[in-house]
Chain A
Amino acid sequence: MSELEIQATVSARRPPRSRPTAVEMGSAVLAVLLVTAAIAPRLLAPGDPLAIDPTAAFGSPSLAHWFGTDESGRDIYTRVVDGARDSLLIGLAATVIGLGLGVVLGTIAGTLGARVDFTVNRFLEVLFAFPGLLLALLFILVIGPGPGTAIVAVGLSTAPGYARIIRAQLLRVRSSAFVEAATVQGLSRGRILTRHILPNTLAPLVVLGTLGVGQAIVWAAALSYLGLGAQPPAAEWGAMLSAGRTYITSAWWMSFFPGLFIVLTAVCATSLGRSVERRMRHA
């Protein structure tokens, strides 16, 4: 009984702004490092990511080569740092495309009346029938593989999910008391939409976007890995993993480290998105 009471009071009295947890601090540091690597890779890795040294091929991780070397003796640490820009940009671009399409579809469904809402919902239902990467694969079948296609394909596959969330949020905001108050005050429908409904609907986009970047990076890397996105000479992480696949039994570090950074980036984005969400909810 007493434990139950304590639980209840703790959840009721949780302070609105808690101190950052260890995970949040770690994610923030990692995010700064990743952005630095993307903007100024030479700061973190002064070497040349394409420098070939056949005498040092397939070197395991050592002091000279922290993450080892690949089949041409290129330093994998330098290549991972160098690949941050492409990998992050692909993830960001795909998220922007997905969110953009989602906002357009969700707003159309949520504002233009019941008939439009019904139509858009049926359309989304059809898109939902292509689970996961299937929509992306269909898109690649039509357009042909390549880095640009992969970005749009990932954006397209994530758009229906965003559209559904945005529509639900729009409907929730539209039926809230402050919108009712604005209506009673005699504000025009357009003004209510742009000044009251949309700002409150779009605020959670920050969270959605942060959470989405991690997933978009993973999906884009998956397409590169399958040979449908960025191609192997590029230092993009998925392409590096794909190149390392041939040597998996002899040189595990060639696929391990690029993949590790995909995971770290995804975890970092998820944890940052979650903490922003938590803070927004309690603010």
Chain B
Amino acid sequence: MAEALTRVPLRFVARRLGGAVFVLWAVATLTFFAVRLIPGDPAEAILGGPGSQTSPEALAAVRAEYGLDQPVFVQYLSQLGRLATGDLGRSYALNMDVGALVLSQLGGTLLLAVLSLAVAWLFALLLATWSTGRGRLARQIGSGLEIIAAALPHFWLATTLIVVFSVWWGVLPPISTADARGLVLPVLTLAIPLAGFLGQVMRESLVAALESPFVLSARARGESERGVLWRHALRHAALPAISLSGWAFGSLISGAVIVETIFARPGLGRSLLNAVTVRDVPVVIGVVMVVALVYILMTILTDVASRLADPRTASIRTGAGG
């Protein structure tokens, strides 16, 4: 492991982090100008929407407070400056700092996403190894299960799980509670479709790995079938799934919007949906920025992980041995 850690490609990480700063700047710019396309006066939105009877003095005061009377370019620069210092602004609807709101919600969503990713990996690994090398029927069952699992929408899977486990059997709470039991259904909802995706990729590369020469030579050395599978083929089969995990993490956070809403679980996703529904612009921008940041960091992390697991990728890209 120590040897593996010295292989962490620092220049690669630095370049990726530079790219991440660029992407975050672009995301901030895109959201700033997209939000300006919203019809209506933002000062009115802050004071409770177009329907509310607001005095011109109150509107002028809000414009001055939020800097809305400044030229667009000045507003843009000052927003960038605030974002750079970690100030995400103030919510229109909740009367609290967006930064504080996001921090209080981030942990729950990250816990949900990380647990779901781990459970999805476990399911995918079990299904892929079980269904490979057991003949045509097992392969078809495995691939059928994966296609169905991958097609399950979160909102339907969640309601079905609630009906079965909470309404019929009464073994798990239908609403997410603080203890571990309340996490089971939300995690299963997110993990099952993802396990379908990862399983498809894993089994495809597992089959390819089992047909490659290094497996033949392992067999020729007298390695048992189980040894071939677990010690040689699986390491190769896991590679594409590792590099997909960054994308998977993003889709989990997107799925958290639905899952947190259904299970009434506090988190970033539910805050985002509420903010979109009431057009609480600073909260939407804040959550989107934080999600983009977490997502980009996750993709860099998985890229580093797949380089460590497979030195070939490093030597191909840089032209020199890693």
**Chain A residues in contact with chain B, CB under 8 A?**
1, 4, 7-8, 11, 21, 23, 122, 125-126, 129-134, 137-138, 140-142, 145, 214, 218, 221-222, 225-228, 238, 241, 244-245, 248-249, 252, 255-256, 259-260, 262-263, 266-267, 270-271, 274
Other 15 A-B pairs with CB < 8 A, given A255-B156, A259-B153:
A4-B219, A7-B211, A8-B211, A134-B272, A141-B275, A142-B37, A225-B258, A226-B273, A228-B276, A238-B155, A252-B167, A263-B151, A266-B151, A266-B153, A270-B150
Interface residues of B in 267-311 (CB under 8 A from A): 272-273, 275-277, 279, 281, 284, 288, 291-292, 295-296
Report how far A2 CA is from B279 CA in the complex, Å: 66
Docked-complex contact B23 and A267, CB < 8 angstroms? no
Q: How far is the CB of A58 from chain B (nearest CB, A)?
A: 14
Docked-complex contact A222 and B154, CB < 8 angstroms? yes
Chain A residues near B107 (CB-CB < 8 A): none
Report how far A134 CA is from B284 CA in the complex, Å: 10
Docked-complex contact B160 and A256, CB < 8 angstroms? yes
Docked-complex contact A130 and B292, CB < 8 angstroms? yes
Interface hit among B53-61, B234-242, B246-254: B246-254
14 contacts between A and B (CB under 8 A): A129-B27, A129-B292, A130-B27, A131-B249, A133-B254, A138-B284, A142-B34, A245-B262, A249-B167, A256-B159, A259-B156, A260-B156, A263-B153, A266-B153
Interface status of B257 (Cβ within 8 A of chain A):
yes
Chain B residues near A263 (CB-CB < 8 A): 148, 151-153, 156
Chain A residues near B173 (CB-CB < 8 A): none
Docked-complex contact A134 and B277, CB < 8 angstroms? no
Q: Which of B147, B159, B250 has the most CB of A within 10 A?
A: B159
Docked-complex contact A245 and B159, CB < 8 angstroms? yes
Docked-complex contact A226 and B167, CB < 8 angstroms? no
If A138-B31, A140-B276 touch, whether A222 touches B288 (CB-CB below 8 Å) is no
Interface residues of B in 2-21 (CB under 8 A from A): 19
Question: Looking at chain A's contact residues, is the secondary structure mostly helix, strand, loop, or mixed?
Answer: helix
Interface status of B130 (Cβ within 8 A of chain A):
no
Report how far A26 CA is from B146 CA in the complex, Å: 17
Docked-complex contact B34 and A138, CB < 8 angstroms? yes
Chain A residues near B155 (CB-CB < 8 A): 221-222, 225, 238, 241, 259
Q: For chain B, give the interface size range.
A: 35 or more
Docked-complex contact A129 and B159, CB < 8 angstroms? no
Q: How far is the CB of B314 from chain A (nearest CB, A)?
A: 21
Chain B residues near A259 (CB-CB < 8 A): 153, 155-156, 159-160
Chain B residues near A214 (CB-CB < 8 A): 151
Chain A residues near B174 (CB-CB < 8 A): 248-249
Q: How far is the CB of A248 from chain B (nearest CB, A)?
A: 6
Interface status of B98 (Cβ within 8 A of chain A):
no
Report how far A252 CA is from B155 CA in the complex, Å: 14
Interface status of B163 (Cβ within 8 A of chain A):
yes
If A129-B23, A263-B151, A263-B153 touch, whether A142 touches B35 (CB-CB below 8 Å) is yes
Report how far A131 CA is from B150 CA in the complex, Å: 17
Docked-complex contact B26 and A122, CB < 8 angstroms? yes
Chain B residues near A221 (CB-CB < 8 A): 153, 155
Q: Select from chain A the residue with minimum beta-carbon distance to B19.
A: A125
Docked-complex contact B261 and A137, CB < 8 angstroms? no
Interface status of B162 (Cβ within 8 A of chain A):
yes
Q: How far is the CB of A157 from chain B (nearest CB, A)?
A: 9
Q: Select from chain A the residue with minimum beta-carbon distance to B36.
A: A142
Docked-complex contact A131 and B295, CB < 8 angstroms? yes
Interface status of B144 (Cβ within 8 A of chain A):
yes
Chain A residues near B49 (CB-CB < 8 A): none
Report how far A126 CA is from B26 CA in the complex, Å: 6
Q: How far is the CB of A130 from chain B (nearest CB, A)?
A: 7
Report how far A125 CA is from B24 CA in the complex, Å: 10
Report how far A7 CA is from B284 CA in the complex, Å: 54
Docked-complex contact B254 and A271, CB < 8 angstroms? no
Docked-complex contact A132 and B159, CB < 8 angstroms? no
Interface status of B99 (Cβ within 8 A of chain A):
no
Chain B residues near A244 (CB-CB < 8 A): 159
If A131-B254, A226-B258, A249-B167 touch, whether A262 touches B26 (CB-CB below 8 Å) is no
Interface string of B20-43 (1 = CB under 8 A from A): 001110110011001101100000
